[in-house]
């Protein structure tokens, strides 16, 4: 029996996670070739690298999306984008990633190779190196193909301090583009929900857009990427943490017509739909116009908009002024209407 992985017809087997020769050959033939860099090539159980003086940022995220492949991406690229963006939301420059894979016995090696190559390409585009990782295999029926956990490290420039603690009354709230593309693209592929939708996921790394924004406004107060729970959950979380209220203008929130139509069809609200390549920013009111102009000058922020402002409110409500002139509270969801979305 050959221990060399067959990427055309082979499947993940328990021996690929057993710590023996088969696992070594899978790592050499796939992960090391795809993610190749000097730190990974050293073959140690950890990565040892120089860091510049100052502050570092670290974050971690697990990815359990279903389906694994979707219009505009796959779980591999998504794992890189999600963690790079979490590093960027501090205003930091992403440097390194680790990646841990939990594989299910029987998963096609061709699909695993496709995911890993996509992940490597996403890392190159973001300018980060995947420098350490781990591979485990679980028995057939005890996983769902592939789960990936990524940890990211970045360097925070000396003059930057993006934090929810800096959100202040009067701040303007900006979004970088149309909301809900990712969630609706995923839903359109679900076996029990398949419907026509000409949409692609917005999954992408925002490192270059963030760099453009920081160059214009180094004093930017706060940034978040509105992933699970969408804009509504993210703003409610920030409102609670900062002990402020927010007022949004419905007509200013960019949402594609296809997303609105799909949400109406499914009985969902676009404000609660997940995104993977968008950000929310809070800035001082006098910086808002310049920041908006800078975001719109970047391809990843061309649909950016100022959607509201931070207000004083001891109840920490997020309010929405509707297109008809009324007002409603955008509350937390009690549960998750869209599981396995990222």
pLDDT digits (tens, 9 = 90+) for 20-31: 999 999 999 999
Counting other chains too, the contacts that 288-297 makes at CB distance below 8 Å and 24 or more residues apart are 288/172, 288/174, 290/216, 290/217, 291/174, 291/213, 291/216, 291/217, 291/220, 292/174, 294/212, 294/213, 294/215, 294/216, 294/217, 295/174, 295/176, 295/209, 295/212, 295/213, 297/212
Q: Which pLDDT does position 339 carry in this prediction?
A: 84
Q: Do domains 11-156 and 164-329 have the same CATH topology?
A: no
With a cut of 80, say whether residue 331 has pLDDT above it.
yes
Please give the mean pLDDT across all residues of the chain. Answer: 95
Instruction: Determine the Cα angle at 64 with ends 68 and 269, to 5°.
Output: 90
DSSP one-letter code for 32: I
pLDDT at 332 over 90: no
Which pLDDT tens digit goes with each residue over 56-89? 999 999 999 999 999 999 999 999 999 999 999 9
Residue 75 phi/psi, 5-degree rounding, is -60, -30
Q: What is the mean pLDDT of residues 199-208?
A: 96
The pLDDT of residue 217: 97
Q: How far is it, in rounded angstroms, from Cα 224 to Cα 303?
A: 17
Render the burial of 245-258: b for 16+ CB within 10 Å, e for the rest. bbbbbbeebbbbeb
Cross-strand bridge partners of residue 101: 135, 148
Q: Quickly state the pLDDT bin for 191 (edges 50, 70, 90).
A: low
**What pLDDT is stored for residue 189 in this prediction?**
87
pLDDT at 1 over 80: no
At 123-154, the pLDDT tens digits run 999 999 999 999 999 999 999 999 999 999 99
Q: Could you tell me the two tokens for 125?
A: 């585009």
Q: Are 254 and 178 in contact (CB under 8 A)?
A: yes
- Tell the CATH superfamily of the 164-329 domain: PurM-like C-terminal domain (3.90.650.10)
Q: What integer is the mean pLDDT of 238-246?
A: 98
Whether the predicted pLDDT of 311 surpasses 90 = yes
pLDDT given for residue 338 in this prediction: 77
Task: Please calculate the CA angle 70-258-251 and round it to the nearest 5 degrees.
Answer: 125
The yes-or-no verdict on residue 192 having pLDDT over 70 is no
Question: Average pLDDT in the 7-19 region?
Answer: 94
CA-to-CA distance for 103 and 227, rounded, in angstroms? 24
Give the pLDDT mean for 273-294: 98
Domain boundaries, the chain: 11-156, 164-329
Q: Choose the CATH number for 11-156 among 3.40.50.620, 3.30.1330.10, 3.30.830.10, 3.20.20.60.
A: 3.30.1330.10
Beta strands in 89-145 (DSSP E): 93-104, 129-138
Mean pLDDT of 299-312: 98
Dist CA 258 CA 246 (whole Å): 27
């Amino acid at each position: 029996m050959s221990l060399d992985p067959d990427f055309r017809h082979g499947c993940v087997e328990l021996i690929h996670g057993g710590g023996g020769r088969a696992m070594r050959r899978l790592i050499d033939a796939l992960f090391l070739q795809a993610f190749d860099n000097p730190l990974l090539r050293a073959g140690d159980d950890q990565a040892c690298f120089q860091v510049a003086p100052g502050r570092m940022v670290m974050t971690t995220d697990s990815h359990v999306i279903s389906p694994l492949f979707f219009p505009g991406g796959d779980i591999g690229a998504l794992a890189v984008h999600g963690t790079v963006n979490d590093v960027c939301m501090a205003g930091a420059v992403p440097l390194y990633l680790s990646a841990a894979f939990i594989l299910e016995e029987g998963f096609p090696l061709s699909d695993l190779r496709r995911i890993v190559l996509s992940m490597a390409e996403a890392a190159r585009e973001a300018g980060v190196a995947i420098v350490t990782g781990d591979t485990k295999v679980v028995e057939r029926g005890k996983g769902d193909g592939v789960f990936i956990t990524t940890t990211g490290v970045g360097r925070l420039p000396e003059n930057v301090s993006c934090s929810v603690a800096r959100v202040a009354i009067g701040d303007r709230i900006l979004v970088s583009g149309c909301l809900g593309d990712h969630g609706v693209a995923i839903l359109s592929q679900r076996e029990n929900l398949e419907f026509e939708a000409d949409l692609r996921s917005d999954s992408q790394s925002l490192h270059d857009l963030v760099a453009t924004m920081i160059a214009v406004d180094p004093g930017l107060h706060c940034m978040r990427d509105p992933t699970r729970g969408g804009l509504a959950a993210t703003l409610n979380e920030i409102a609670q943490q900062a002990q402020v209220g927010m007022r949004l203008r419905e007509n200013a929130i960019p949402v594609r017509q296809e997303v609105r139509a799909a949400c109406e069809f499914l009985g969902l609200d676009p404000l609660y739909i997940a995104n993977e390549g968008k950000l929310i920013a809070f800035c001082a009111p006098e910086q808002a116009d310049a920041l908006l102009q800078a975001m719109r000058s970047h391809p990843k922020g061309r649909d950016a908009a100022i959607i509201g402002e931070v207000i004083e409110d001891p109840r920490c409500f997020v309010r929405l002024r509707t297109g008809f002139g009324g007002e409603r509270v955008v509350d937390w969801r009690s549960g998750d209407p869209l599981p396995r979305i990222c």
